[in-house]
Structure 1
Amino acid sequence: MLDLMTAEFNLDSSSTAPSKEELLARVAGGDESAFGELYDQIAPRVLGLVKRVLIDHAQSEEVTQEIFLEIWQTAARYESQRGGASTWIMTMAHRRAIDRIRSSQAGRDRDTKVGIRDLAVPYDHVAETVEVRIEHERVEKAMSRLTELQRQAVSLSYFSGYSHREVADFLHIPLGTVKTRLRDGLIRLRDELGVTS
């Protein structure tokens, strides 16, 4: 009887699921089944976190999909010595959810400004064209005062629409360097354009 119980225990311990860290390492190698298993293990927690931040269920599902796409694409960047896989994934999820809130708020603010402007005065195509041209010239002049490295980073990120990671890959420089150049470039642009925060 004891041998039977020992055999059952050994059977159960050999069928334990791989850790999230192991799955993430396999995902980094392109293992789709490991990705599916990782998804099954952590997707409910990710969706729960995102939904607590965003409230809206449809947006939460959309952001959760984006998070798992990012996990698939960036699994090789996970460093186990810096923390657990769950922490890495949940940090990514929180960051994505906050980014969505900021993006939505910026869009609402922009729509409100345009709506108020459009209601306040009748639309004048000539004035609008002149205003856009003057603003364009101001930005070009301010951009010309950046260093070449800052100009590259700002142009690729804000005018060409590349992510910070894509800019780093394109310029063959570390991600932190891209962020520093962008921060310094944007501070200088703000000063040149006389924008107050």
Structure 2
Amino acid sequence: MSNPATSENQLITRIIERDEEALSELYTQYGAHVFGVALYILKNNALAEEATQDTFLKVWDSAQRWDNQQGNLKTWILTISRFTAIDILRREHRHFTDPREAFEESMLRIIQPNPTQSAEWDNATLLKSLIAQLPEEQIQAIELAFFMGMSHQEVATQLGEPLGTVKSRIRNGLQSLRGLWLMATSDRK
């Protein structure tokens, strides 16, 4: 039986050497996992396929960066997949002009209203009501960062505020939200 780490090293070495067959083997081995991560984030088959393709192109272009001492190959590839899908999600959300509209859309995309998933829907409804209890400036910053997928710098630019102010609003808002969440869910246990 071969050592998985050795097999991963050999596969990456072949990809670094531009062996297309090795990339095909990698896709066969991890393609479904990559697609699954992308689909979970994007909730759209076409965008998930795009993210999957982009992920393997990134692996092809940056295979020399993988370090087996820092984690296994699957973890590295799925991390690339996650960030690629988030980048696509950010790109897709840029067409919204009203942050409230983006928030509503994101909530629907992240947690689909499905009667068989009532606990998830209840959590989404609870989260939305708790966010509404925060100060308006924290709501704006959190919605832009987490539901529109903007970076802190993009949020600062959008709001016309200094970066440090935006980071503080997000951090303070998340701390308050965590406290509200713990209080609201403590009776569920």
TM-score after normalising by structure 1: 0.48
Q: TM-score, normalised by structure 2?
A: 0.49
Is the radius of gyration larger for structure 1 or structure 2?
1
Indicate the structure whose relative CO is greater, using CA pairs within 8 Å and at least 6 residues apart: 2
